[in-house]
Amino acid sequence: MVDSENDTTVIDKVNALIEQKYFGLARERINRSLNKNPNSFPLRVKLAEVYHQMRDFHQAGMVLDTLLKEAPDNDQLFSLLPQVLLNRGHTEQAIERSKELRERIGLDNPHATGQLAEIYEKTSSTEELRKLIDEIKTTDELSRMIKLLGEGRLALRRKEYDQAIDYFQQLKKLLETTKSTDETLRVNRLIDCLFQMAKAYDRMGEFDSAWATASRAHELQRENGPIFNASQYTSMLEAVSKRMDPETVRSLAHCDTPLDQTPLYIVGNPRSGTSLLEQILSMHPEVANGGELSIGLRLQEDLLTLTDSYHGWPDAVLDMRTDDANELGRRYMACLRELTLNKKVVSNKALNLQIQLGFLSLITPNSKAIMLYRYPLDNCVSCFTTNLLSSGHLYCSDLKDMGKVWMARRKIMEYWQESLEIPILELHYENIVQNQELETRRIIDFLGLDWNESCLNFHQSNLVARTISYDQVNRKMYSTSNGRWKNYEKHLQPFADLVGDYL
């Protein structure tokens, strides 16, 4: 039996990995310890937190459901539950649990109040957010921060951008002068505040101020956070494509047992329209919205165990037998069945699909994929001026790194289109927003489903988008983001030099 001190040691190591944004390694480290001590309560709580960080809200919810049956009065679990419920699309439950958390730990508790404010903001519950902000007693610095952030977000919604910037400036000053026992948290809050300011400047048309403010956020990340290794990342993509050439793919073991649902892999960069596409598809009665599922990473690790391969990833696919592929396919489908019932198609838009699509096509040969592209300069501007750092996209802090990553991903996406045996549809974000019905009909036809008019009314979905893009995809289709790069053209040269073939 592993004692509590060893659990503490493991959690310390996991926290260090999380701080470096190595969420997959953090999950792998916890699972190794849970294999030895499967009943460890602290490790399972940390596993739920890691799944939440990985944006695999389904798995986070499953772990939390089990833990809450064992410890229904645990405040730590209740603190995580509302966000997980929200990101699983259970809006009303998320609000109720967040209110319950405030009652449990105190109506003036800054953490509980801040969480409820964020849920109200994400669900466009403007009146409720206004009432909550008015109730906040600014008796300490954290409460003042939450109130200023809430006021700033409300001002953004009212399109009172000068007022929003004033609130964010006050919040910025408070964060810069506050002494904190958790310096990482203080810096992360400051970074998020700067991105909120950049959004306000952008909407005012003050594009130089928006870029300068976002640049300062990225500087803080480089000064205080982990450094992204672009060469290591691009080398990994090259190794995957080299190992899985068309001839090798055909010769590798494939799952040959019937699978009862169709996995749909939505492959694209952050801010390329993957959330929009998934929201459109989720309106169809035969399609389930899976979000960013981490099941691919889990099966990648399982591959090494099942094959007992001496090779690492991706060469371990050479040792995969048909029985292994069948078992991995079964595990993927089991994940989908846990997620939804009676849906023909289940989407997965995990942002590591560029790396894993070849492997996943072997274990789910009935799957389909959509390659979603966006004009590179618009994609760059959107990534640079949005806080993607909190979800691990550290390459966004350097335009050259972003260019290298963008090119490597584009090349392997095109390579998969040429090399894989599963059906693949190519889509472009610009075409979707300009010709919504035509492109949506193409997608539904590709999936082999009957047309449903609801797909044109995606903004009426009662689901909250599970990504940073929630603010965009819960509104009607708009095309104002096309050509946005022209407002920032003078700043984009380092990125443009690397992606010139696609301009």
- Per-residue H/E/C for 188-230: HHHHHHHHHHHHHHHHHCCHHHHHHHHHHHHHHHHHHCCCCCH
Evaluate if residue 471 carries a pLDDT over 90: no
Q: What is the pLDDT of residue 338?
A: 78
In CATH, 4-224 is 3.40.640.10: no
Domain ranges of the chain: 4-224, 230-502
Evaluate if residue 419 carries a pLDDT over 50: yes
Evaluate if residue 44 carries a pLDDT over 60: yes
| CB of 265 closer than 8 Å to CB of 369 | yes
Evaluate if residue 473 carries a pLDDT over 50: no
Q: What is the pLDDT of residue 134?
A: 94
DSSP H helices, 274-349, are 274-282, 295-307, 322-339
Evaluate if residue 468 carries a pLDDT over 50: no
Assign a CATH topology to domain 230-502.
Rossmann fold (3.40.50)
Which helix (H) or strand (E) element contains residue 345? strand 345-348
Q: What is the pLDDT of residue 106?
A: 86
Q: What is the mean pLDDT of the chain?
A: 91
Q: What is the pLDDT of residue 57?
A: 87
Evaluate if residue 470 carries a pLDDT over 50: no
Tens-place pLDDT, residues 199-226: 999 999 999 999 999 999 999 999 998 8
Share of the chain above pLDDT 90, in %: 75
Residue 92: pLDDT band with limits 50, 70, 90: very high
Q: What is the pLDDT of residue 477?
A: 55
> Under 8 Å CB-to-CB from 82, ≥6 apart: which residues?
94, 95, 97, 98, 101, 115, 116, 119
Evaluate if residue 270 carries a pLDDT over 70: yes
Residue 7 tokens read as 């659990």
User: Mean pLDDT, to the nearest integer, of 169-177?
Assistant: 96
| CB of 59 closer than 8 Å to CB of 74 | no
Q: What pTM was computed for the model?
A: 0.91
More confident of the two residues 57 and 329: 329
DSSP H helices, 126-205, are 126-135, 141-157, 161-177, 183-204
Q: What is the pLDDT of residue 56?
A: 86
**Three-state SS for 234?**
helix
Evaluate if residue 406 carries a pLDDT over 60: yes
Rounded CA gap, 6 and 361, in Å?
Answer: 39
Residue 480: pLDDT band with limits 50, 70, 90: low
Which helix (H) or strand (E) element contains residue 424? strand 424-428
The residue whose two tokens read 């059906």 is: 423
Q: What is the pLDDT of residue 5?
A: 56
Cross-strand pairs, 263:
346
In our burial notation (b when 16+ CB lie closer than 10 A, e otherwise), range 312-327 reads ebbebbebbeeebbbb
Q: How far is CA 179 from CA 137, 141, 182, in A?
A: 20, 10, 9
User: Mean pLDDT, to the nearest integer, of 346-358?
Assistant: 94
